[in-house]
Amino acid sequence: MNAPERIVVVGASLAGLRAAEALRDEGFTGELTLIGDEPYAPYDRPPLSKAVLSGWLPTDRTLLPRVRDISARWLLGSPATGLDLRERRVTQADGRQVGYDRLLIATGTRARPWPERQGGSLHGVHVLRTRDDADRLRTALAAGPGRVLVIGAGFTGGEVASVCRDLGLEVTVTQRSGAPLASALGGVVGGAAAHWYRDAGVDLRLHTTVHALEGDAHGRLRRAVLSDGTVVTTEVAVVAAGALANTEWLAGSGLAADARGVVCDEACRARTDDGTPVPDVFVAGDVARWPHPRYPGQLLRLDHWDNAVAQARTAAHNMLHEPGDHRGHQPLPAFWSNQFRVNLKCLGLPALADQVVVTQGSLDEQRFVAAYGRRGRLVAVVAVDCPRVLDGYAALIEAGAPFPPVLNATDGPDRLRPLDAAFPQPTAPAPAAAVTPGTPSVLPGQSVPCTPSIPSTLSVLSVPSVPSGHE
């Protein structure tokens, strides 16, 4: 493994920038190039669904702080469109070809769009992922629409609905399952979240999907037809139906990459379709899927801010060192959200759990800690409006402590009563002739993602994404 003279980072957002800084910190003095599809310098996404939508902060004030001068060549506004592993070359949309000795893939994810034939192209239909998305949605909210429809009650949907209520706007939220946040945190904690929505005056429609968005003769959104046959009059709809990995440019490259992300090993080395690690190509951030030693048999993809930073540093170190000196990427997953004046923090992976128990506080008081267990072991914990208690829980999760945990907390219940975690059952993909939200789609002008051959011993866990606030 020769020392690299040219390193290319494809993806000029949080993971890409922090990886570039780490490469310089690790002593890399060669040519460093960052390729980004957006024309902007790297910016912070958490404020988009909070301070920007509320009008407190313009998007041009969300730039990420630079911790050092990276002396890089920036190729922004022209996305990567192809990768040649043999020639070690990245092709951009403008025709430019960029050679490398080491490559980092940090292209992240995009918001899942609403199908065009169901009204996705109407004026007034929004997603929230980028600066431009936030600017357009902020303008629409500032115009004072009579009602905003939010499709999906995950983290992004909840944060958007919360801001809308703070702005005095009427909001309807549809959710396919029986509770907000159910896919991420299960039905027990999701049931508590439903109270936050309704206490804030949100019209929450559970077990409900949007059949179609309809517009007027000028192509402007006017109404939504729901699965229960009711009609919601609305001028603004926000689609918060998850994220798709930006991997179309890797089609035909030989890498194991599809709409779920790019498969890599614990050292962040990209894998080919047959599972072989590629020694000069690495992956970091929201686009990466890798095996975590604490969660065997899974490929994780974490759309979390902390993971993007940590994985970028791991990848940067390994790009400059021999395999014998590689570090494994195995942080404890962590994310947070603020919505309806409630602060929620999570450690571990609740989506793996089969049981949950309240260990401190109570659901009724909307201030509690819920611990999640899988097969008798603690795998995650969620703290609602009491974040300072999490350090002790982190040590228990990392140690694989028994579930339910015996804490003897002064604010805990007299007796721990584990409940079924009540995660929604996965649904079968819709047929190709009837694409629905939740089915991976391809945007106009993009190629169909390649389908990798994943070892049959691994199942794929794409942790419910938090695209705007916690990647």
What does the pLDDT read at residue 1? 61
- Residue % of the chain over a pLDDT of 90: 82
pLDDT band at 376, cuts 50/70/90? very high
Write the pLDDT tens digit of every residue in 160-178: 999 999 999 999 999 999 9
pLDDT, mean of residues 108-122: 95
pLDDT, mean of residues 433-446: 30
Looking at the predicted structure, is the pLDDT value of residue 437 above 50? Answer: no
Write the pLDDT tens digit of every residue in 30-67: 999 999 999 999 999 999 999 999 999 999 999 999 98
| Residue 41 contacts residue 131 (beta carbons within 8 Å) | no
Enclosing H/E stretch for 241: none
Describe the strand order of the beta sheet including 31-36 as a list of residue ranges.
73-76, 31-36, 6-10, 102-105, 277-283, 269-271
Looking at the predicted structure, is the pLDDT value of residue 327 above 80? Answer: yes
Looking at the predicted structure, is the pLDDT value of residue 233 above 90? Answer: yes
Residue 382 CB contacts under 8 Å (≥ 6 apart), including other chains = 185, 189, 344, 345, 346, 350, 369, 370, 372
Enclosing H/E stretch for 185: helix 182-199
pLDDT band at 464, cuts 50/70/90? very low
Which runs of consecutive H residues, i.e. helices, occur in 320-460?
Answer: 390-398
Average pLDDT value for the chain: 89
pLDDT, mean of residues 296-308: 91
**If we measure between CA atoms, which residue out of 421, 459, 449, 425 comes closest to residue 300?**
459
Write the pLDDT tens digit of every residue in 155-164: 999 999 999 9
Which runs of consecutive H residues, i.e. helices, occur in 4-68?
Answer: 14-25, 51-54
